[in-house]
């Protein structure tokens, strides 16, 4: 078995709060997790012949397999967990996540409440979590999940991320400008991007930012690259992945992907008093109004609502069912049963196995994300940053916000629409009550997509692709460049990750780095599972988001 992985942990700008003592010496990165497991488990593969009645012998082999997996994880070195340092730089904590805690009239978190949060994530004592003051009735989202263990694949604390952009950085300014542009173009159909003047203005403005991290064409953002990611397949064909449009074979049913979507111009938290209420942990005063007609997803507002209501691995379960419906041509050529004259896969390497793994890696990815969110980064949410920006633009406060954002024409567009500089949100309740970095949706997307690429043929060209027009009532035939399984799976992952950006609840880097984290989690799980297989096969082959090949 061979594995080609990178070790990218980023610069250690500022160490996070102390790691838990009982996990010290265990943590590392995904590359070390997979490599160590590979070395240890490959030494004692499951025998090709296992006597059917030798239960004691099999129990001993199973014990050794579990022990070897645990020992390989235990030997991993502890690597730095860098954060952006904003928690240390800004004494008033304006650069950090603080939603649901008490805030003053400027939206600055109560210092004693934030200190109580730090106390809890440092001691991890149940009593300290219960002592965190809340500003309203809305509770914090599962901070203790950051300390959960994962017994399959790498421990959640063995994965590292690069530090998030800092509060005053050019990167943060560019990401915030992109979020404002995503907000003001939510009702523009993806099919109209090449001709819409507001989309053209967004592309021109984002091209001027010195540290914009999105894809470009000829060193400039264009309508064809706007709000997309840069993985293989992302820039080919329609904005949305085929797996968000094609009918889903759902058991005996075939499900059309028409969904309940909000009405146009249905932005939330644009009034300062309502913004302050929601940020301080109170339930929203208003709600969304919905279109009476279910529609295929056609614009940013539709996509934002889809990732508002989906369950964790829904999009990837749908993709798996669609791909299974194509039969053998869509199966990965490395599947050992494709060459068998007498056997088919089922409980291993068959549909039940694949469907289980898609779901199984999702929660493991969340555990890794929650560790990064609560214990390492505690990155501010865009809606909180938007409040600070509003107060600066209104000359009520002075903050260290990068000048490139302050001169963006999108701020004037937003102000003329709502008489505030707040980020228009797609959800009445705003963002969830957990820190921004990385995005949970993105981390799940990275993990589930990695599993799908491991078991399906990435080079298979999808037959009869579709596109959807402005009204979203029915799909139309797509006639353009070929759309492959690998490319459309990458696009699905990006759509679901960046769809949360379209809602205003995440930053671009939350999404792009979350995809990488989820990918690493899935590879570590596949590495452990490979050692449990009885079949003789060459390994699981897949293409990472960065374009490199991995064989597990």
Question: Which residue do the tokens 């109170």 mark?
Answer: 282
Distance CA 489, CA 242 (A): 9
534 is an active site residue: no
Question: Which residue do the tokens 């952009």 mark?
Answer: 165
**Candidate list 103, 377, 390, 441, residue with the active-site label:** 441
Distance CA 499, CA 385 (A): 19
259 φ/ψ angles, rounded to the nearest 5 degrees: -130, 160
431 touches 260 (CB < 8 A) = no
254 φ/ψ angles, rounded to the nearest 5 degrees: -125, 115
Least Cα distance to 483 among 465, 467, 495, 456 occurs for: 465
User: What does the DSSP assignment read for 355-409?
Assistant: HHHHHHHHHHHHHHHHHIIIIII-BPPHHHHHHHHHHHHTTS------HHHHT-T
Helix, strand, coil percentages in the chain from 3-state DSSP, rounded to 5: 45, 10, 50
**Candidate list 157, 388, 402, 434, residue with the active-site label:** 434
**Where are the extended beta strands (E) located within 16-69?**
none
152 touches 367 (CB < 8 A) = no
Burial 194-215 (b: 16+ CB within 10 A, else e): eeeebbebbbebbbebeebbbb
479 is an active site residue: no
Q: State the catalytic residues.
A: 434, 441
């Amino acid at each position: 078995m061979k594995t080609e992985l990178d070790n990218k942990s980023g610069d250690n700008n500022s160490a996070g709060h102390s790691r838990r003592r009982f996990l010290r010496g265990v943590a590392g990165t995904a590359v070390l997790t997979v490599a160590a497991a590979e070395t240890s488990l490959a030494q004692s593969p499951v025998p090709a012949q296992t006597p059917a009645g030798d239960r004691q012998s099999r129990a001993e082999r199973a014990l050794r397999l579990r022990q070897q997996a645990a020992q390989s994880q235990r030997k991993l070195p502890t690597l730095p967990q860098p954060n952006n340092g904003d928690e240390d730089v800004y004494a008033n904590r304006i650069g950090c996540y603080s939603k649901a805690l008490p805030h003053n009239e400027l939206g600055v978190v109560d210092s004693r409440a934030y200190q109580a949060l730090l106390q809890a994530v440092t001691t991890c004592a149940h009593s300290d979590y219960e002592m965190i003051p809340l500003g309203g009735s809305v509770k914090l989202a599962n901070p203790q999940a950051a300390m959960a263990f994962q017994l399959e694949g790498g421990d959640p604390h063995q994965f590292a991320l690069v530090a998030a952009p800092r509060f005053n950085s050019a990167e943060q300014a560019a990401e915030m400008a992109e979020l404002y542009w995503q907000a003001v173009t939510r009702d523009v159909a993806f099919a109209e991007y090449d001709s819409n003047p507001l989309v053209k203005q967004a592309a021109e403005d984002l091209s001027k930012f010195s540290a914009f991290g999105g894809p470009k064409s000829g060193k400039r953002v264009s309508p064809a690259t706007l709000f997309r990611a840069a993985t293989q397949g992302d820039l080919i064909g329609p904005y949305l992945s085929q797996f968000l449009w094609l009918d889903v074979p759902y058991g005996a049913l075939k499900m059309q992907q028409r969904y309940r979507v909000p009405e146009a111009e249905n932005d939330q938290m644009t009034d300062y008093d309502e913004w302050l209420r929601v940020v301080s942990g109170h339930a929203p005063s208003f709600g969304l109004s919905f279109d009476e007609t279910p529609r295929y997803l056609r614009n940013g507002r539709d996509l934002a609502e889809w990732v508002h209501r989906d369950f964790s691995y829904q999009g990837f379960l749908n993709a798996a069912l669609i791909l299974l419906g194509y039969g053998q041509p869509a199966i990965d050529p490395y599947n050992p049963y494709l060459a068998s004259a007498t056997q088919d896969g089922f409980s291993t390497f068959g549909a039940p196995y694949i469907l289980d793994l898609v779901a199984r890696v999702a929660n493991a990815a969340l555990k890794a994300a929650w560790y990064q969110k609560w214990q390492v980064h505690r990155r501010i949410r865009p809606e909180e940053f938007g409040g600070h920006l509003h107060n600066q633009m209104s000359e009520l406060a002075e903050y260290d916000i990068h000048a490139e954002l302050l001169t963006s024409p999108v701020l004037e567009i937003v102000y003329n629409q709502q008489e505030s500089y707040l980020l228009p949100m797609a959800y009445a309740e705003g963002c969830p009550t957990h820190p921004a970095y990385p995005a949970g949706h993105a981390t799940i997307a990275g993990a589930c997509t990695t599993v799908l690429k491991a078991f399906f043929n990435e080079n298979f060209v999808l037959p009869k692709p579709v596109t959807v027009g402005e009204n979203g009532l029915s799909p139309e035939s797509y006639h353009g460049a070929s759309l492959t399984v690998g490319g459309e799976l990458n696009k699905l992952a990006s759509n679901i990750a960046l769809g949360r950006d379209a809602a205003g609840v995440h930053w671009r880097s939350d999404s792009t780095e979350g995809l990488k984290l989820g990918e690493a989690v899935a590879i570590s799980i596949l590495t452990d599972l490979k050692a449990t297989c009885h079949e003789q096969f060459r390994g699981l082959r897949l293409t990472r988001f960065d374009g490199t090949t991995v064989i597990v």
